[in-house]
Amino acid sequence: MIDIADFFQPLALTKLILSLFFFLYLIFLFILINQIRRMNSVVSQATSSNLLFSAGIIQFAIAVLLLISVLVIL
Amino acid sequence: MPDIFIPKNNNKPESVAAMLSSSASRLHPFSSYSEMPQGVHFENQEADETVLLFLRRHFVTNVPWIFTTLILLLLPIVAAPFFTVVNSLILLPDRYFLVIILFYYLLVFTYALVEYITWFYNISLVTQKRIVDIDYSHLVFHDVAITKLSLVEDVNYQQSGFIRSFFNYGDVLVQTAAKHDHFDFLAVPNPIRVIKIIEALIGRRREE
């Protein structure tokens, strides 16, 4: 049985807050990547646009890895 | 009857093709001014329409956010003694601190990326037919304004201050007779040349 008091232990609370921040950050990155994709269709600038899209995807991947590490490893 | 006054044809606009660089320039990620840029296309571009001018804010205008990013990157190193004191109070394991620091750096890189994107997608284009002004801000807002060159009434520029004069950039203001009555190309490099090119295009249109 899950005891609600366990959530208010300092480590559990830190883990909860970190997970929440990462989740919000992932939503933000999703919007950002979507905007990059949309702006690339408005104006195409050869290879530079793809670099930005890649930068967004890389950040998203790192954030997902960190979220997994928060949820599983910590 | 002999002519009393024959005006010299000094106002004839210089040929646009002669004005623009003969070799088309290739854009790089930090380009803010390009004549006849290669690989630039926009939504609703017509088949016979060529982009003659590609404009963004001068790269110098990015210095404030680059400087802020550098400070934010160095902040954890400077504040390391403070973290040691905080850690002695909270007693968080080191791996938690590692994740927090990594998250912090991700946020800093995201801040830099958002600022760069805001600069990158604020573009003004001049084609042989139209003027296109693309404004992008606040992550989710973008506005695309297009006007025909035949509707352009007046073009002027403002260049005030030491930094703008030193780096040769300024605001080009285009007045039009269309619904969107003005187009502002803010902090673009070589404003005098931009005006000359637009005036030459307007002149050519009016002659036609």
Q: Could you read off the pLDDT of B73-113 as tens digits, one per residue?
A: 999 989 888 877 877 776 777 788 888 888 899 999 999 99
Contact A44 B99 (CB under 8 A): no
Q: Which of A21, A36, A48 sits opposite B103 (nearest CB)?
A: A21
Whether pLDDT at A57 is above 50: yes
Instruction: Give mean pLDDT, residues B18-40.
Output: 80
If one counts every other C-beta atom within 10 angstroms of the C-beta of residue B81, the result is: 8
Name which of B44, B48, B22 is nearest B35 in CA terms. Answer: B22
Contact B40 A59 (CB under 8 A): no
Q: Which two tokens stand for residue B143?
A: 């506005």
Q: What percent of chain A has pLDDT above 70?
A: 82
Name which of A39, A38, A43 is nearest B125 in CA terms. Answer: A43
- Weakest-pLDDT range from B25-34, B99-108, B118-127: B25-34
The pTM for the full model equals 0.84
How many angstroms separate the CA atoms of A34 and B175, rounded?
Answer: 34
Cα B85–B90–B92 angle (5° rounding)?
100
Q: Which of B40, B103, B114 sits opposite A66 (nearest CB)?
A: B103
Q: Which two tokens stand for residue B97?
A: 């601190």
How many angstroms separate the CA atoms of B38 and B120, rounded?
Answer: 16
Whether pLDDT at A49 is above 60: yes
Q: Which of B106, B117, B142 sits opposite A42 (nearest CB)?
A: B142
- Enumerate chain B positions whose Cβ falls within 8 A of a Cβ in A: 26-29, 38-43, 90-93, 95-96, 99-100, 102-103, 106-107, 109-110, 113-114, 116-117, 120-121, 123, 125, 134, 136, 139-140, 142, 144
B99 Cβ partners below 8 Å, 6+ apart?
A18, A66, A69, A70, A74
